[in-house]
Structure formats: structure tokens, C-alpha cells
Amino acid sequence: MTLISDKPANDDSSVVAEAVQAPKGGRWIDHWEPEDPEFWETTGKKVARRNLWFSVFAENIGFSVWVLFSVLVTQMGNAGFAFMQGDQAVNNGLILVSIPVLVGAAMRIPYTFAVTTFGGRAFTTFSAGMLLIPTLGLAVAFTQPTTPMWVFMILAALAGFGGGNFSSSMANISFFFPESKKGAALGINAAGGNLGVAVTQLAIPLVIAFGLFLSASDPAGYRFALVLSSLFWVPFIVAAALGAWLRMDSLSNAKPDGESYALAMRNRNTWIMAFLYIGTFGSFIGFSFAFPTLIRANFPDLQNIGIMVALGNLAFLGALVGSFSRPFGGWLADRIGSGARLTALVFVGLAFGVAAIMASLAIGSFALYLLSFIVLFVITGIGNGSTYRMIPTIFAASARSNAEANGHSFKEATASGKRQAGAAIGMIGAVGAFGGFILQQALRLSNVHLGTMAPAFWAYAGIFLLMAGVTWWFYLRTSFAISRAPSMAYAQA
């Protein structure tokens, strides 16, 4: 038995955390009481923070690989891949960037449960190591210009597993922290993961430029650059997997609550919030993955400006500002006093953002186009924070209302609301990520059948306004109990 403790050996005032070599294998902590102030200060805080930082690193690499195709597809035509040349380049590019989004969304549901089955340490190690398959596979595929598109579609699907890392990481970290510190910890975890999108969209164009510098600006040189880009993440993947295995822990009391999941799935608020999360996180992911392709398609002359190509036409700025604005959204929702009020304003802002994008295309201004998208990404980040702020509020108030109607104690209702909110987050996150796939396919189908993406953009603007209306109808009407005292409900949750 190995003890994990920051307390002196002769201090028997509280129980310390223990990690045992259980039959499951790995380092398991059998006793974990983060709500106990003495336990938290003497033992829990250090262990929780260590697990948080290694989780952030592994999740960041997961996002980095998840979004890898968004950059690679912009140079595959130059590398001699026929299916990425000419009129089919944009459509096939959107197919390849949408497959990881679809797979990542699907993986979020089983990944949420995996932590409670295999332990956070083991599953973080596995989910990070899994990313070696698509990166090494791409390095091989890029060596041959005759590699068919279906091979890249399979590799894109495997890269999509990186998107599932978000759910397992969030589920794992939520068990380590007390309620009073959970929001900040999950905000750091989420923002750290989201930043992987910006890191890839900044780093990989620079790697491609470096590869071309070492070789030549011909198809063979581009293939070498793409191989180099695929291998770029391999050392980081290995570091993330080793870091998780050597430095993370698993909690024996992190068990799934089947009853809470069943209640959450029957609660209409789960599905309403999932729909709203399509508009915030779905937009962030969908536009992040498609942004490099959209810039290249709408402003092809930028390919003649070397520095712009090396910086990926500044596409990384969108994901960067969207990631940093996410925790700000949660903070701002607290200041305003209602996540719902801010979320409604977010959807109105997104509709205006789309209108600004359409105006920039009408006048052919890249500066306005980039600025409009940056504003759009900032708003989606704020919306991601505000919608996550709404979830515990809504479920706490819903459970309290049911308790009053059925004569249950307030304490039981509060505990039930917390468990249902935690259970609902996994499904809401999965549906929200699926929204990114819907957005990309809407753009692709509009381009294929109508010859322009404008109808898809305007349709999305209309959906944003609809989402604002849904937010008002369910969570802002003065007759609705949840919106009358959101801060109190959240505080008591």
C-alpha cells in the first residue's frame, strides 16, 4: 500500500488519501473527501491540482489532433492529391474536417462513462496514447500521392477520438474538487482543451512552411511538409500519455449514478440546453474546423502572401479568442445574475455576427471578414461559459420545485439537482459538438447544390434568433420560477 499524503506521519486528526495497487491495476485513491476543509488543505488540494494540470495537457493535445485536418486539407491539393484540387477541393475539404467533429461528438458519451469504469489515470493514458494511430497513419498516407480519399476519411475518424477526450477529462476532474472550487477547475480544464484548436492552427502552418524550406515548393515538398506536420504531435502525445500514467490518480469513489442519468435524460431541460449548446459550442467547433478552408475558398489571393500562408491566414485567432472568452462568459453570467439573460444576448450577437460576415463577403474585405469572425468566436466563447453556468442553476431549481411538489426535503433536492446536472453535462456536450458537424454539412451542401454558402449562413442567423427566443421562453419569462432567482438557486446548489 502506498500513501499519498501531505500530513506529518504522526498526525492522526484526519484520514489521509490512500492509493492502493488494486486488482484493476494502477494507482487508486480509496478515500477522497474534498468537501472536508482539513482534508482539502492538507491532502486534497495538492493532489487535485496535479491531476488537473496533467489532465489539461492531455486534453489540449486531444483537441490539437482533433482539429488537425482543418489545416492539413488546405495544403493537400498542393501536395498532389487529386481529390483536393479544382472544384472539388472545398467540398471534399469540408467532408474531411467534418468527420472528426462527428466522431468526436459521438465519443463524448462513452468517454464520459469510461472514467468511472477504468479510472481517470488509466483512461487518460489510453485516450492520449490512442492519438498516435491517426498521427502516425497520416505520416504514412502522405508519402504517396495516390493515397485515396477513403484512407484519409478513416484517419479523420480516428483523429475524431481526440474530441472525446473533453468529456472524459471533465468528468474525471469534477470528482477531484469541492463544489466551491469545481467551477474554476472545470473552466480551466475546458479552456485549456479548447486552446488546442488555436495551437494547431498556428503551429502546423509554421511546420508546413519549415518543411517547404527544407525541401521545395513542389508536390513532393508539400508531401514532406505534411508528413512533418503529422509527426509534430507525436512527442507531445507520448509526453501526455506518460505524464498521465506516472503522475495522475484514479478515485475509487468516482462511480456512475445510474438513477441520476435516467432522471437527467427524462428532464426536458437536458434537451433544451443541448439544443442551445449547439448554437454556442457547436458554432465554436464548426467554424473553428471550417475557418481555414473558408478563408482559402473566399480569399484565394492570400496564398500569394508568404507570411499569411505561414501563419495559416490568421485562422488560429478565431479559436484563440473563443477559448479565452469562455471562462469570461461564466464570470460575466455571475455578474449579470443570470446565465440565461447573457445566453439570450449571445444568440442575438451571433446573428449580427453572421450578418457582418455576409457584408464583408459582399464588399470583398478580408479585414472585415476576419474581424467579423473574431467577434463571432468571442461571442461563442462567452456563450459556452454562460450556458454551462445555466446548467447547475436550472437543475437545482427544477429539483427544488419537484421537492416542493412531492414533499421531499430541500437537502435531498439539492443533492439530486447536483447529480442530475453532472449527468446531463455529458449529453449536452455531445449534442453541442454534433452541432459543429451540422454547421459544416450545411455549408457544404449549400455550396454543392446552390453554388454559394450564403444561404447556409443566413439560415444559421435565423436559428440563432430562434435560440434566443427559446432561451427567453423557457428561462427568462417572469412567470418561470427558475429565472426569478437564478443566483440563489446556484448558490444553494
**Residue 160: per-residue pLDDT:** 94
**Residue 9: per-residue pLDDT:** 37
Domain 257-493 has CATH 1.20.1250.20: yes
**SS3 state at 143:** coil
For residue 411, how many other CB atoms are within 10 A of its CB? 9
Query: Using CA atoms, how far apart are residues 189 and 170, in angstroms rounded to an integer?
Result: 7
Query: Using CA atoms, how far apart are residues 26 and 329, in angstroms rounded to an integer?
Result: 37
**Residue 215: per-residue pLDDT:** 86
Confirm if 175 and 251 have CB atoms less than 8 A apart: yes
CA nearest to 487, candidates 342, 400, 390, 387: 390
Confirm if 340 and 391 have CB atoms less than 8 A apart: no
Backbone φ and ψ of 78, nearest 5°: -65, -25
Q: For residue 465, which amino acid is it? A: L
How far, in whole angstroms, is CA 290 from its chain's centroid? Answer: 15
Cross-strand bridge partners of residue 20: 28
Residues of the chain falling short of pLDDT 70: 1-26, 183, 256-258, 312, 337-338, 402-416, 478-493
Q: Do 1-256 and 257-493 come out as alike in CATH topology?
A: yes
* Residue 133, all three cell numbers: 494511430
* Residue 76, all three cell numbers: 493537400
CATH architecture of 1-256: Up-down Bundle (1.20)
pTM for this one? Answer: 0.82
* Residue 474, all three cell numbers: 423557457
Confirm if 78 and 55 have CB atoms less than 8 A apart: no
Confirm if 63 and 197 have CB atoms less than 8 A apart: yes
Query: Using CA atoms, how far apart are residues 135 and 22, in angstroms rounded to an integer?
Result: 33
**Residue 108: per-residue pLDDT:** 87
Instruction: Label residue 16 left, alpha or beta by phi (over 0 means left) and psi (-120 to 50 means alpha).
Output: beta
Domain ranges across the chain: 1-256, 257-493
Query: Using CA atoms, how far apart are residues 493 and 488, in angstroms rounded to an integer?
Result: 8
Q: What is the DSSP letter of 215?
A: S
Confirm if 368 and 312 have CB atoms less than 8 A apart: no
Query: Using CA atoms, how far apart are residues 39 and 13, in angstroms rounded to an integer?
Result: 10
pLDDT tens-place string over residues 9-67? 334 334 344 443 333 444 889 888 888 889 999 988 999 999 999 999 999 999 999 99
Sorted by sequence, the CB contacts under 8 Å of residue 10 that are 6+ apart come out as none
Confirm if 420 and 397 have CB atoms less than 8 A apart: no
Query: Using CA atoms, how far apart are residues 114 and 363, in angstroms rounded to an integer?
Result: 50
Query: Using CA atoms, how far apart are residues 338 and 269, in angstroms rounded to an integer?
Result: 16
Query: Using CA atoms, how far apart are residues 241 and 194, in angstroms rounded to an integer?
Result: 19
Q: For residue 143, which amino acid is it? A: T
Confirm if 151 and 23 have CB atoms less than 8 A apart: no
Instruction: Give me the helices (H) in 67-119, please.
Output: 68-76, 88-118
Q: Residue 212: CA atoms inside 13 Å, Cβ hemisphere, count?
A: 16
* Residue 435, all three cell numbers: 452541432
Number of helices (H) and strands (E), helices first, in the chain? 22, 4
pLDDT tens-place string over residues 155-199? 999 999 999 898 888 888 888 988 778 767 877 888 888 889 889
